[in-house]
Amino acid sequence: MKLSVRLVALAAVIATAACAPQTSGDSSSGKDEKTGTLRVWLFQEVNNAPKEKVVESVVAGFEKAHDGTEVTVEYIPVETRAERIKAAFNDPKSAPDLVEYGNTDTAGYVKDGGLADVTEEFGAWDEAKDTDPTARQSVTVDGKVYG
């Protein structure tokens, strides 16, 4: 059931993404935009068909609920993810708005400046208390939560 848990997490991330600033569209207003293109990078699995089916359903629901928003999903090979993600840190125009990454990558991405300290936001999130302690620890570096 590992795949199901990850897809539920993906659905939650995409569903909350409407609250995030839009970064990959053509807007130069500097405002917290709620429309435009939301770029998502996910891992390419060995058998990606079940994942793609769930993701397509979540994306369709998200786009329907958020008029003026388009979600583009790119599946990146796991074996080249580190290089691709680190390159995006240095070229924000190529960076996705949301990215699936492995918890073992967290500390390195924090060191490289690619993840934001979201300790305050996480603490203010009503559901934070219900998160799995092991999962929470996997995104904690030096006592701060990153994402």
Q: Among 6-10, 46-50, 53-57, 111-115, name the one with the lowest average pLDDT.
A: 6-10
What does the pLDDT look like over 105-126, one tens digit per residue? 899 999 988 899 999 999 999 9
Domain count of the fold of the chain: 2
The model carries a pTM of 0.71
Q: Please indicate, yes or no, whether residues 108 and 90 belong to a single structural domain of this protein.
A: no
Q: Do the Cβ atoms of 112 and 82 come closer than 8 Å?
A: no
- pLDDT of 30 reads 53
74 and 142 share one domain = no
What CATH number corresponds to the domain at position 17? 3.40.190
Q: Tell whether 141 and 97 lie within a shared domain.
A: no
Residues 82 and 109 in one domain: no
What string of H, E and C letters represents the secondary structure of 94-119? Answer: HCCCEECCCHHHHHHHHHCCCCCECH
Verify that 13 and 63 share a domain, yes or no: yes
For 57-78, how does the pLDDT look when each residue is reduced to its tens digit (9 = 90+)?
A: 999 999 999 999 999 999 999 8
Q: Kindly state whether residues 92 and 109 are assigned to the same domain.
A: no
For 36, the domain range is 2-101
